[in-house]
Every structure is written in C-alpha cells, then in structure tokens.
Structure 1
C-alpha cells in the first residue's frame, strides 16, 4: 500500500512484481489517488514483464520521470530535459537498439542551440533514465559511452550584482516579483528551492526553515529579522490548494494567486525583460545566489560558513568564491609596508639615478 516518509507529504510506492522491485513517488498527497497510481504501476509492470522488457526512449524517460522526479523540487527541470531530448531524438526508438552514434548525433544537434553545460546535464539525465529502466524493469539496455560524449564546459564565472545594478533591477522588475528576488539575495537559495517552499517549512517561532535542495536533500536554514519581515508581509493565496505555497503570483485574468513556475512562463520572462530594461548584461537568476555568496564571504571572511549556508556537500564547491578573500588580502597588503613609508633610496642610488 502507498506510504509516506518524514521527508515528504507525497505518497510513495514500493512493490515487487515477479521478483522485480518497483519503487518511487505516486505524485500525490491524496491516499485514494495514490492507491490508484500504485495499482496502475503494478499493472504496467506485469505487462512489461510479460513483454520481455522492451522499452522505447520515450517510455524510458517517462518512466524515470514518473518514478523518481514527480513531487520533487527538480520535477519541472526534469520534464524540460525530457522534452528537449525528445525534440532531437526519436522517442519510438528502442532503448536496446541505441548506439553511441545516436548519442553523438544528438549532442551535435543540441549544441547548436544550447551551452555545453546544458547539453551535459541532459546527457546525464538520459543516462540515469536508461539505468533506471534497466535496473528496476529489467529492460535490455546497451553499453553507451555517455560520459565520453559530454562536451568540455567553460569554468563557471561568478557574476555578482552590483548595488547600482540591484537598484536598477528592482526599478524595472514588476513589484509582485520583488519578494522572490529579495529572498534569493537574502538566502542564496536556488529558484526551484524558493518556488517549492511551503508555509509548513517555515518556523518563525524558532527562526528556521527547511529548504529542499537538489537530489531531494533537506537543509535547515536560519531566519534572521530581515527574512522574517519579508515572509510575514507575503500575501497568502486565495485558492485553497495553493494556500501552502509561500511565493505566489497574481493571475490578472482570474485574480487567483498561483504558484510560480521557475523554468518557464511568466516569471522568467518578466525577470529577463527587467534585466534588459535595466541594462544588466550577462546575468541570470542563478547569479543572485552568487551575489549572496560573495557578499556574505566578503563580510564574514568565513568560507566554511558560506559553504554551509549554500548547502554545498563539499567546501571545494565553494572555492569558486575564494577570489573575494584574495581581493581583500591584496587590499590589506597594499596598506602594509615593512619599511614604514616604503623603501628608502640610498645615496649611491641617488647618484646612479642622476647620471
């Protein structure tokens, strides 16, 4: 029967069909709906086992998304990756018949319109989907050199929003998105983490909140006075099923406050338009996270603290911001001299310079 864990309100399933184990998210908080989903998954599994586990690319991606991604902060990102892959690859192609040549052809096409990092993330997701269908559904899968097909990524540039740019951004940005952007600057949270935040994650009494990070990890983040004031002033949704969402936007047609889609639609479009109007170049919403990290590191000089607040599993990931410390060290040295006012010029040196 469907069950829930302490980490999520969404029901999960964990069933065994003919010796093969299937587990994942039912994608719903309603118990009766979860039972129906589990029953359908059980029926699909029996059908697949009887057919010998022959899956197409579209089926593999869809199965992975249903089993692993629904109900997670990365759900919408994963759905977009699946759509992007299926635009350039034949969804009806059997997984067992895929070759390295198919992968290289896809990479070449995708690189025409996307950055290398985006292509690589999609390749990595494809690999996870293929391994998932092989492991849990006993499908025949090929040996593909997906890692070798990845393209070299340029070193990530840490882009910090200047105070002047920040003022111009807020001037151009619609007011309903000011709290979202302010919260990103105050916490360094990723856009998916912010838009997935629920009021049940907020504990103003104890001054802490729970963030859902990449990989479905949970993180406790402190609430200071500034963040508490922002959260307390946020309007609640007038739609019952959206009342749990912390950040919402107003649908001007229905006047309903709805959840914010972080990866497509109105909010990202409004943010890009504001950047254009403000004359801010080479900046993404994710750079608000970089801005938080560099400002905090400059103030505290404590890279371990910054690493913890960013939710990094390793401090090595945070070293990209170490340039802030180097800049401050250089400034300190510029005001320091062993000889006091600087090196003294001896008489012999004066004579040589006068010749």
Structure 2
C-alpha cells in the first residue's frame, strides 16, 4: 500500500494521504497534501518519476563534483521530504528557487560569498521580509552545503553565513481588542465565525483548527486532543465556552469539526447546501477577504495572532505564565515569555491606579496631621 492515510498513536486517521514507496532500496515518503486517493496517486506517480531521475543522476555523478541541482535533489530525498506540514512545502519551494536563480549546473565548489550575497539581494528585491529571506534562501542553502561537505565528501567553499543572515525584528505579539473581535465576527460568514472563535479560546494554530476531528473531542472527559508541531499529540481542557461553541456544530460533517456550507455547487464534486471540511488555504482566503472589507477596519492582524490573543488574555486574567505555556504546548517556557508583555493600556491603568493610591495616602496623612 503506497498511498494511504496514516494514523497517529491514538488511532486518529489523518485527513491527508501520504505516499510511501521504495526504489532501488531507497525509501521515498511524504505528504501528498491530497484528501482523495485518486489525486494522491497522481502525486505519487510524479514522485516516482522524480525519484528515478534523481537516482539516475546520482549514479552518473557518483564520482564527479556535485552540482547544486543534484545536491538539492539529494537533500530532499534524504532529509527534506520528512519535514512536517508547511515547513516541508516551504523548504521544497525554496530549493527550487535556489536552483532556478543560482543555476542548476553550478558546482557546489563554485558557491561563493559573492553568490550568496547576490541571491539574498535577489530575494529581497521580491519584496519579502528579512525573516522570509533567511528562511527561504540562506538557511536552506547552508543546510545543503553543510550536508554535502560533511556527509557526501563534496568540496565546498568557506562561506561566512552569519554575514548573510538579515536582521530580524523581535517577534511581535499582536493582541485583538474586543471591538476588533466584534468587527471580524461581523465580517465573517457564520461557518467561519466558529473557527475564529475557537482559535481565540483554544490558542490552536490554523492547521490544528481545520484538521480537528470529532474523534478529538472527549465530551465526558472534557478534553480536546490536538496533533501539533512535530506530530506531537496533546490535550487541552474542554471549557464551558468551548463546549457551547462546538456542541451545535455536530451533524454538519461526520468527521471534520469545522465545515462550511456549500453555496456554489460544483458538478460532480459537491452539492448546494452540503457541508464540506474546511481547508487550510480555503480558511486563509476567507480570513483575508473578511479583513479586506473596509467596514472591518482591522489591520496588521494575521490568523496566527488569534493564538497570541488567546495567550495574552489568559496571562492577563491569571497572571500565571505556566498556564500559558500549557495552553500553547510550549516545551520550553522561554518560548512563552514573549507573551509576558505589558500593553500601553495596562501600563496606563497601572500608573493611574498607583497615582490615585498615592494621592489617597497623602490625603490621609494631611488629615491626621
């Protein structure tokens, strides 16, 4: 069985098919990102052809200096295809970008500091942020070259990688105000209002929201199970607010918790009035459209900022950073400390309270004098 939907350790079946096959004693495995078996088989066939070509190139060039194209392909087979989620997709497209802009026939020994600098400049010219340049150019290229030198016995020039990494601003924590929350709810359709409210209450990432299954909800045990980063399974409490939000959604779809009602039917695919599982890209599109409405009036706010908002609200109400760590499922509390910030409004209120308290104290002293 080379195309299948895997199960995690708790027996929950993934909504996406993976391919898993061997060619000349080499294993090729990865997520097709397809929900139907027929589409997954098409992806598998493309991966089989790609594997054959890559191994043919490896055999021909086994004793020859390695080109960037071959090195990127080998790195993908050996390591990249096993990355998870969006990281896998981003890394694959990054390798393709490097090969296109640096040249497929470029020898690894010909990669110089000047070339890396030019690649960084080219990517910056595409209007992306510094963090994106680092993540899609410098870091992937560094991984490939280090692997080639350490494991494939390839001659690689000395690159000063630190000099090519662009400065990144500290990760911001954008919190949604109650007024902004109300305006976003008004801008979203009823179906997508539910997933938005769930993200605000649970701190789930977008991918975790759309992949949530009814089998993940333990009504009696009052927990919600989630498959997070690194395919790690965790649970959060099913609070009263979460229960009231999720309970009415039952019956829309047999597996997916969050589903949308079809308003424009597609012949042979879906019927009007049918509920279909929400997808990552579909939900991102609905989110962008809602925030693009002039009447929404919410700027500089991503879906992931709902997670920041959930964390900040919990910290403000409890004052306990450990609880925030548990909600967000951070292994290291150092990752959670970025939420231990004080907003301007918090600071203003604290200063006014302190001043008021000091004023009352002085009044009491003057009366007793």
Question: TM-score normalised to the size of structure 2?
Answer: 0.70
Deviations 1:281-333 (A, max 9, x none): 22222221121111111111101110221122222222222224984865664
**Which of 82, 105, 114 in structure 2 is aligned with 1:68?**
82
CA distance in 2, matches of 1:263, 1:99: 41
Other-structure match for 2:233: 218
Mapped pair 1:89 → 2:68: no
Query: How far 1:52 sits from its partner (Å)?
Result: 2.9
**Which of 230, 238, 259 in structure 1 is aligned with 2:245?**
230
Other-structure match for 1:352: none
CA distance in 2, matches of 1:245, 1:319: 33
Q: After the TM superposition, which residues 38-77 of structure 1 pair with which residues of structure 2 at under 5 Å, given as runs?
A: 43=52, 46-52=55-61, 54=66, 56-57=68-69, 59=73, 63=77, 67-69=81-83, 72=85, 74-77=87-90
State the secondary structure of the residue aligned to 2:134.
Answer: helix
Q: Is the alpha carbon distance of 1:266 and 1:49 closer, same or farther for their aligned partners in structure 2, counting shifts above 3 Å?
A: same
Which moved further from structure 2: 106-115 or 139-148? 139-148
Query: How far 1:62 sits from its partner (Å)?
Result: 5.7
CA distance in 2, matches of 1:214, 1:135: 30
Unaligned runs of 5+ in 1: 347-355
Q: After the TM superposition, which residues 175-194 of structure 1 pair with which residues of structure 2 at under 5 Å, given as runs?
A: 175-194=190-209
Q: After the TM superposition, which residues 64-213 of structure 1 pair with which residues of structure 2 at under 5 Å, given as runs?
A: 67-69=81-83, 72=85, 74-78=87-91, 81=94, 85=97, 89-90=101-102, 92-94=104-106, 96=108, 97-112=110-125, 113-123=127-137, 126-127=140-141, 130=144, 134=148, 138=152, 140=154, 142=156, 144-213=159-228
CA distance in 2, matches of 1:272, 1:91: 40
Q: Which structure is higher in RCO with an 8 Å CA cutoff and minimum separation 6?
A: 1
State the secondary structure of the residue aligned to 1:25.
Answer: strand
Other-structure match for 2:257: 246
**Which of 362, 365, 369 in structure 2 is aligned with 1:341?**
362
CA distance in 2, matches of 1:311, 1:129: 28
CA distance in 2, matches of 1:105, 1:205: 59
State the secondary structure of the residue aligned to 1:299.
Answer: helix
**How large is the Cα RMSD of the aligned pairs?**
4.5
Unaligned runs of 5+ in 2: 267-271
8 Å CA contact 2:291–2:298 kept in 1: the answer is: no
CA distance in 2, matches of 1:95, 1:195: 43
Mapped pair 1:297 → 2:286: no
CA distance in 2, matches of 1:332, 1:123: 50
Q: Is the alpha carbon distance of 1:110 and 1:225 closer, same or farther for their aligned partners in structure 2, counting shifts above 3 Å?
A: same
